Amino acid sequence: MSFLSQLLEHYHLTLNDLGKRKLPGSFLSLEKPFECPSFLNVVSRIQKAVKEGEKVVIYGDYDVDGLTSTAIMKMALDELGLNPGFFIPSRYVEGYGLHESRVRQFAQKGYQVIICVDNGISAGKEIELAKSLGMEVIVIDHHEALNELPSTPYIFHQELSKFITYNCSAASLAYFVVSYLLKRDDPYFATLAGIAVFSDVMPLVGNNLNFAKLAKESIQKYGYKNFAALTDVKNIDYSNIQFDIISSLNAVGRIKKDSISTNNACRFLIEKDKLERIQKLSQEILSANEEKKRLVKELTFKPGFTFSTTHGEVALVEDYSGIAGLLANREMKKVNGPVAIFAPSSSEEDELVGSIRAPSSYRVDEFLNQNRTKLVRFGGHPQAAGVTIKKTFYIQFATLFLQECEKQALDLGKVEDDSIVINLEDLNEENFAIYESFFPFGEGFPEPKFSLSIAKEDLVFSKNKTAVFAYSKDKKSKLVYFGMSKDFEEERYSYFVFDGTFKKEIFMGKVTYSLVAESYQSYLD
Q: What is the DSSP string of 127-188?
A: HHHHHHTT-EEEEE--S---SPPPS-S-EE-TTTTTS-SS---HHHHHHHHHHHHHTS--HH
**CA 204/CA 300 separation, integer angstroms:** 35
**Preceding amide of 24 cis, omega within 30:** no
Indicate the average pLDDT of the chain: 93
Domains of the chain: which residue ranges? 31-288, 307-412, 420-523
pLDDT over 60 (residue 258): yes
Neighbour order of strands in the sheet with 384-390: 307-309, 312-316, 339-344, 351-357, 384-390, 377-381
Whether 169 and 69 have beta carbons less than 8 Å apart is answered as yes
- Crossing angle of helices 259-270 and 64-79, in 10° steps, is 50
How long is the chain? 525
User: Taking residues 18-37, what's their average pLDDT?
Assistant: 95
Supply the pLDDT for residue 413. 67
pLDDT over 80 (residue 34): yes
Supply the pLDDT for residue 2. 93
Q: Which CATH number fits domain 31-288: 3.30.2130.10, 3.40.50.300, 3.90.1640.30, 3.40.50.1820?
A: 3.90.1640.30
pLDDT over 80 (residue 347): yes
Whether 325 and 354 have beta carbons less than 8 Å apart is answered as no
Second-level CATH architecture of 420-523: Beta Barrel (2.40)
Supply the pLDDT for residue 524. 82
User: Taking residues 373-391, what's their average pLDDT?
Assistant: 90
Whether 25 and 175 have beta carbons less than 8 Å apart is answered as no
> 405-445: per-residue pLDDT in tens?
999 988 876 555 678 999 999 999 999 999 999 999 987 88
Of the pLDDT bands very low, low, confident and very high (cuts 50, 70, 90), residue 145 is confident
> 457-474: per-residue pLDDT in tens?
999 998 888 889 999 988
Supply the pLDDT for residue 414. 58
Nearest to 116 by CA among 163, 61, 76: 61
> 190-234: per-residue pLDDT in tens?
999 999 999 887 889 999 999 999 999 999 999 999 999 999 988
pLDDT over 90 (residue 281): yes
Is the pLDDT higher at 489 or at 339?
339
pLDDT over 70 (residue 100): yes
**CA 500/CA 518 separation, integer angstroms:** 5
**CA 367/CA 50 separation, integer angstroms:** 46
How is domain 307-412 classified at the CATH fold level? Answer: Diaminopimelate Epimerase; Chain A, domain 1 (3.10.310)
**CA 221/CA 215 separation, integer angstroms:** 10
Q: Considering all CA atoms of the chain, what is the largest pairwise distance in Å, rounded to the nearest integer?
A: 81
User: Taking residues 37-46, what's their average pLDDT?
Assistant: 98
Q: Which of 72-76, 315-319, 479-483 has the lowest mean pLDDT?
A: 479-483
**CA 46/CA 181 separation, integer angstroms:** 9
Supply the pLDDT for residue 31. 97
User: Could you tell me the sign of the dihedral formed by the alpha carbons of 506, 481, 306, 351, in that order?
Assistant: positive
**CA 123/CA 126 separation, integer angstroms:** 5
User: Amino acid identity of 342?
Assistant: F
Neighbours of 192 (CB within 10 A): 29
pLDDT over 60 (residue 187): yes
Nearest to 274 by CA among 234, 226, 219: 226
> 283-321: per-residue pLDDT in tens?
999 999 999 999 999 999 999 999 999 899 999 999 999
Of the pLDDT bands very low, low, confident and very high (cuts 50, 70, 90), residue 167 is very high
Whether 116 and 98 have beta carbons less than 8 Å apart is answered as yes
Decide: residue 361, CB within 10 A, 0-12 exposed, 13-18 middle, 19+ buried: middle
Buried b / exposed e across 264-281, counting CB within 10 Å, b at 16+? bbbbbbbbbeeeebbeeb
User: Taking residues 239-264, what's their average pLDDT?
Assistant: 96
